[in-house]
């Protein structure tokens, strides 16, 4: 930008530093637009990941139950006291059948008996932390339904 000196009549080249308010507002608007598009996608990915983790967790518990029954249990399923320490079933199945364990946006409930088992995983907050409720029962039969 050239500025003419009124006294001497000479022209000098000056440079400006910084950004104008309009430039800053445009950058902020672009960032806000990107956030508005990106955040819902990230939340949807998180819900999907929570659903997949819950399904995998209860399948793992069922595998533990079936393996125990086929081997050490001689046809009987384990009760809480017989679960391997720090196994997934030990961590997700509470000591009391009426108690649930909250992990990764899902509440896990287990009913364990020598004759069979039922494990449930329900979304803690429907449509926010998960979209389905899962149940797996004796014989590793998995069912799912939209959460309510």
Sequence ranges of the domains in the chain = 2-146
Of the candidates 115, 120, 123, the residue with the CA atom closest to the CA atom of residue 148? 123
Q: How far apart are CA 83 and CA 69, in angstroms?
A: 12
DSSP state, 81? G
Q: What is the mean pLDDT of residues 3-12?
A: 67
Residue 101: φ, ψ to 5°? -115, 125
* pTM score above 0.75: no
Residue 56 falls in which region: left (phi positive, over 0), alpha (psi -120 to 50) or beta: alpha
Kindly report which listed range (14-18, 46-50, 134-138, 140-144) carries the lowest average pLDDT score. 14-18
Q: Report yes or no: 122 and 142 within 8 Å, Cβ to Cβ.
A: no
CB atoms within 10 A of CB 110: 25
Quick: pLDDT tens for 88-144.
Answer: 888 888 776 667 888 889 999 988 888 999 999 999 998 888 999 999 999 989 999
What CA–CA distance (Å, rounded) separates 113 from 84? 15
């Amino acid at each position: 930008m050239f500025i003419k000196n009124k006294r001497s009549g000479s022209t000098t080249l000056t440079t400006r530093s910084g950004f104008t308010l309009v430039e800053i507002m445009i950058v902020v608007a672009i960032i806000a637009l990107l956030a508005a598009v990106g955040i819902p996608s990230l939340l949807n990915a998180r819900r999907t990941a929570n659903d997949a983790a819950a399904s995998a967790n209860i399948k793992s518990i069922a595998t533990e139950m079936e393996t125990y029954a086929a081997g050490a249990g001689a046809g009987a399923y384990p009760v809480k006291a017989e679960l391997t320490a720090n196994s997934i079933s030990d961590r997700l199945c509470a000591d009391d059948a009426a108690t649930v364990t909250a992990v990764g946006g899902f509440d896990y409930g287990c009913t364990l008996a020598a004759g069979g088992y039922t494990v449930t995983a329900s979304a803690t907050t429907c449509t926010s932390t998960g979209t389905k409720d899962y149940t797996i029962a004796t014989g590793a039969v998995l069912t799912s339904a939209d959460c309510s």
